[in-house]
């Protein structure tokens, strides 16, 4: 798609509203998550068409373990099934999948599939799809601080030498661009522990639509809104 409008390089999405979508239809919450996976597919297609280079999805937060066990199990099953079903098409489309978050809490089976999809798609270069799983910003910063602390204690790093680049390089997102645009669906206007460090200069967009109803048109609208924003990064323009 050729256009003169600024296109965000990295769009990060908080997929909210699956439960409400299911409830409105008298369905189980897990049906909302299944419909949510369809929206991920739709969004990915739209992002490829518009030339977006990275999409990050908040798929499972560290807080989500507190949901009913049946819902957590359904999400884990959906995750494994989606990886099995989608990997060939993702490869074909040139999509690389990377995971952020602390994965040791997942079952061996889930960890196996996460490693599998990362390896299988490692050579893809058109778009990077990042799944935030057992992720929260505070937990990511905690783990980064521990690692930095270890390096200081071992004498490999001087405390005075720690700068913003040092911190960024110890986050799960090391080497990835910061999000230019953060979208949260369902009308909620919160960051909920998602990419807090990385979103320092992001633009925010909060459409009312529930995540399972997020469409190609909705994605295009988000890009329109982004294109009209005046990003100054703390400078005078």
Rule CB under 6 A: which residues touch ligand FPP? 15-20, 33, 36-37, 59-60, 64, 75, 78-79, 82
Q: Which is nearer to ligand FPP, 188 or 224 (CB)?
A: 188
For residues 52 and 43, the answer to whether their CB atoms sit within 8 Å is no
Tell me which of 28, 64, 178, 213 is the catalytic residue.
64
At which residue do the structure tokens 């196996």 appear? Answer: 112
Longest Cα separation, the chain: 59
State the nearest-atom distance from the C-beta of 18 to ligand FPP, in Å.
4
Residue nearest to ligand FPP (CB): 19
Cβ neighbors of 167 (< 8 A, separation 6 or more) are 144, 148, 197
Tell me which of 16, 18, 134, 172 is the catalytic residue.
16
Does 64 qualify as catalytic in the annotation? yes
Q: Which is nearer to ligand FPP, 7 or 35 (CB)?
A: 35
Cβ neighbors of 88 (< 8 A, separation 6 or more) are none
Residue 184 has phi, psi (to 5 degrees) of: -125, 125
Q: Which is nearer to ligand FPP, 30 or 198 (CB)?
A: 30
Q: Which is nearer to ligand FPP, 43 or 144 (CB)?
A: 43
* Gap between the Cα atoms of 215 and 161, Å rounded: 46
* Gap between the Cα atoms of 147 and 174, Å rounded: 13
State the nearest-atom distance from the C-beta of 41 to ligand FPP, in Å.
10
* Gap between the Cα atoms of 154 and 152, Å rounded: 5
For residues 50 and 44, the answer to whether their CB atoms sit within 8 Å is no
State the nearest-atom distance from the C-beta of 22 to ligand FPP, in Å.
8
Q: Which is nearer to ligand FPP, 82 or 137 (CB)?
A: 82
* Gap between the Cα atoms of 123 and 90, Å rounded: 11
For residues 29 and 71, the answer to whether their CB atoms sit within 8 Å is yes
* Gap between the Cα atoms of 48 and 19, Å rounded: 28
For residues 197 and 168, the answer to whether their CB atoms sit within 8 Å is yes
State the nearest-atom distance from the C-beta of 210 to ligand FPP, in Å.
7
Does 18 qualify as catalytic in the annotation? no
State the nearest-atom distance from the C-beta of 124 to ligand FPP, in Å.
20
Please identify every residue annotated as catalytic. 16, 64
């Amino acid at each position: 798609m050729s256009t003169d409008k600024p296109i965000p390089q990295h769009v990060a999405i908080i997929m909210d509203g699956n439960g409400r979508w299911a409830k409105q239809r008298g369905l189980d919450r897990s049906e909302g998550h299944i419909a949510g996976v369809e929206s991920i597919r739709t969004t990915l297609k739209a992002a490829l068409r518009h030339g977006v280079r990275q999409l990050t999805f908040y798929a499972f937060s560290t807080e989500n373990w507190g949901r009913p066990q049946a819902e957590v199990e359904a999400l884990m099953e959906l995750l494994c099934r989606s990886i099995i079903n989608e990997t060939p098409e993702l490869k074909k489309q040139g999509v690389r999948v990377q995971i952020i978050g602390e994965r040791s809490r997942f079952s061996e089976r889930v960890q196996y599939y996460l490693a599998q999809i990362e390896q299988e798609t490692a050579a893809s270069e058109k778009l990077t799809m990042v799944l935030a799983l057992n992720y929260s910003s505070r937990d990511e910063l905690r783990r980064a601080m521990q690692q930095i602390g270890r390096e200081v204690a071992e004498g490999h790093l001087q405390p005075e030498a720690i700068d913003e680049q040092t911190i960024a390089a110890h986050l799960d997102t090391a080497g990835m661009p910061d999000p230019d645009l953060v979208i949260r669906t369902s009308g909620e206007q919160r960051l909920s522990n998602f990419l807090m460090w990385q979103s320092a200069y992001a633009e925010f967009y909060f459409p009312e639509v529930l995540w399972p109803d997020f469409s190609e048109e909705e994605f295009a609208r988000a890009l329109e809104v982004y294109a009209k924003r005046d990003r100054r990064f703390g400078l005078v323009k």
